[in-house]
Structure 1
Amino acid sequence: MNNASHYDFTKCFFELNGCTIKEKNPKHMTIKLTKEMDEALMNRPFYWHYMKKMNREGEPLSLSFKDISLGDAEEGIFLHAGTPKLQQIYQVALEKGYTTRLYEKVDSPSQNLALHPWLCINVKLTFRGKQSKDLLLSLGLNLINGALIHEAMNKFLDVPLTSSISDYTFPMTPLIRLESGYNRLLQHIEDYLSELDTQWADQSLSQLHYERKLLESFFQSKDVDPEQYEKELEQLHIRYQPRIQLSVANGGLIYLTNETSQKMLTNYH
């Protein structure tokens, strides 16, 4: 991400969170924070605690940001990858963006238009053993007909989405319950993993067996505390025992027209 992208992201973040933005030029902006954003970013817990205790509204602060190319000519926080405030904004965005609900933007449909609900989750699969690697999966499940796609977020990037529903459109009630849909996605991930090459796990187990034999030989030839042996053995298992960890990064409901939903399935395989 370049410096211009950092600036655009920051501007979009504050706009989506209801802050007032005033730009001096395309590379400098001053943001009037909302109370929520002040509490999240400005580290003033005692101030807001006092305001709540006194039953007062309080006054959110303002922040000024500038692209690093402006130098010292303007006041404000430089926006680049190492900016602490930018890292803080990213963290808040991640926390707020763990779940979402978005709608396809439809301009003046000729008749009332139904929107299909898609349950989307982004997961990280972490493979641990002799060697380690991460695998990212983005899955989407149509909660009307059960269609399932991979690389869902890449497909959704081409769709105009908004947090509010367009006029003359309405969200369809899911035929597949959210809990059931989520379990379907988890089952699909299990099936997906069962079809992967297990050579990495076989190599890990082989290495674990080899290291354990060496450890046993060493402790049999030395007068060593058995408790120490158990600790060493535990560390070997932590290092070489093959395992897969699944963590859900984020997810949400995305409502799409039937036409767009059909496009999601194009070239799925």
Structure 2
Amino acid sequence: MNARQVEKFVMSYLEATGCDIIEKAKGSVTVRLSPEADKRLTNRPYYWGFVERTGTPPETLTFGWQFGRDDDDAGEAEEASDLAEQQGTAVPAPGLSPLGFNVAPVRVLREDLYFGSGRLAQIFGAVRDGGRCVAMFEEPPRGRADRLGSNPYTAWLGVNFKVDYECDMKREEMYGWGISLATGYIDERFLEGLRGRKLTPKLPSNVHLLPNGLSLKKAMSQLEQALERKLKSGDFVWAAEAEDRRQDELRRIRSYYDPMIGRAVTDEEKETLSQRLAQRESEIDWQYRPRVTLSVMNCGLFHLPGIH
């Protein structure tokens, strides 16, 4: 995901959870979280337990998030700050407004949000946990509905898969696939095709649902098998290179510990050194061993017009 995609995703999440957008600028946002978002993103279970027990009005946190800020932007901001200081621009004292009234300062937590950052991963997790599965219907075009007839709708299972390629480096890929529950046809660009459709959680009028030929469990299994076949046909040069690095690291650490173990005088000393070697080998194995992990981010049951 590039900075623009990250920004669009985060803004959609903030709007969906009812957060208060204090200031929106190009590439950045200052936002006061809603209670729902605060509970999911700030890791304050004791505070929220106190609020719920006592009925105290909650004080949610305020964040200033920068999306893909580059060095040029940072340099311009620093130059503007220096210029303001040189010109003697007055800065209100903490707790005072420019008009002189006492105002409680709002603490704004500044963070950079980018693909791979911890905060964005946390937002991904909140979206995944809060909306793992939805059921939606496409709205028929206005003025085209046959009031005397009924339009057939086919059910599709749409799934967002995340594939992690991991060794001493990491890469992620997203796949938004869909499968027709009527015919079993798999569309590898299904979720991309939903962007231009108007969806609603309510069943539209003059619509009938076609019977499903596949259960949800069977459909998910077929999607996973199809994606697994696609992944197996990919380029795994990176895995071979990672395995070579793993073996090199193991040889290096053994060349360090083996002579020490051989020179050990007591059995206790040998046992201690052997345990250290085993621990280092385990750490190297975890860091360098190549692995591919497939996980489901979210899914949905989408009823679309036509027979597919």
Shared fold (TM-score greater than 0.5)? yes
Once the 2 structures are TM-superposed, how far is the Cα of residue 180 of structure 1 from its aligned partner?
0.4
Question: Does residue 119 of structure 1 match 2:167?
Answer: no
Question: Does residue 228 of structure 1 match 2:276?
Answer: yes
Q: 1:158 aligns with which of 182, 185, 196?
A: 196
Q: 2:145 aligns with which of 109, 130, 150?
A: 109
Question: Does residue 237 of structure 1 match 2:285?
Answer: yes
Aligned to 2:179, what secondary structure does the other structure show? strand
- The within-5 A match list for 1:1-269 is 10-11=14-15, 13-14=17-18, 45=49, 93-106=127-140, 107=142, 109-110=145-146, 111-223=149-261, 225-258=273-306
Runs of 4+ off more than 2 Å: 1-14, 36-51, 79-82, 87-96, 170-173
Unaligned runs of 5+ in 1: 15-32, 52-59, 66-71, 262-269
Once the 2 structures are TM-superposed, how far is the Cα of residue 93 of structure 1 from its aligned partner?
4.8
- The letter for the 2-side match of 1:104 is E
Distance 1:230 1:89 in 2: 37
- The letter for the 1-side match of 2:194 is F
Counting aligned pairs with the same residue, the percent is 16
Aligned to 2:260, what secondary structure does the other structure show? coil
Distance 1:215 1:154 in 2: 48
- The letter for the 2-side match of 1:242 is P
Distance 2:208 2:109 in 1: 41
Per the alignment, residue 17 of structure 1 pairs with: none
Aligned to 2:250, what secondary structure does the other structure show? helix
Once the 2 structures are TM-superposed, how far is the Cα of residue 13 of structure 1 from its aligned partner?
4.6
Does the CA-based 8 Å contact 1:130-1:207 persist in structure 2?
A: no
- The letter for the 2-side match of 1:123 is F
The alignment's TM-score, normalised by the length of structure 2, stands at: 0.60
Question: Paired residues, what number?
Answer: 230
Once the 2 structures are TM-superposed, how far is the Cα of residue 151 of structure 1 from its aligned partner?
2.9
Bigger drift between 218-227 and 250-259 goes to 218-227
Does the CA-based 8 Å contact 2:163-2:173 persist in structure 1?
A: yes
Aligned to 2:196, what secondary structure does the other structure show? coil
Distance 1:233 1:256 in 2: 53
Does the CA-based 8 Å contact 1:39-1:45 persist in structure 2?
A: no
- The letter for the 2-side match of 1:158 is G
Once the 2 structures are TM-superposed, how far is the Cα of residue 50 of structure 1 from its aligned partner?
7.4
Unaligned runs of 5+ in 2: 19-33, 63-96, 98-105, 112-119, 262-269
Does the CA-based 8 Å contact 1:113-1:169 persist in structure 2?
A: yes
**What is the Cα-based RMSD across aligned positions, in Å?**
4.4
Distance change in 2, residues 1:240/1:160 (3 Å): same
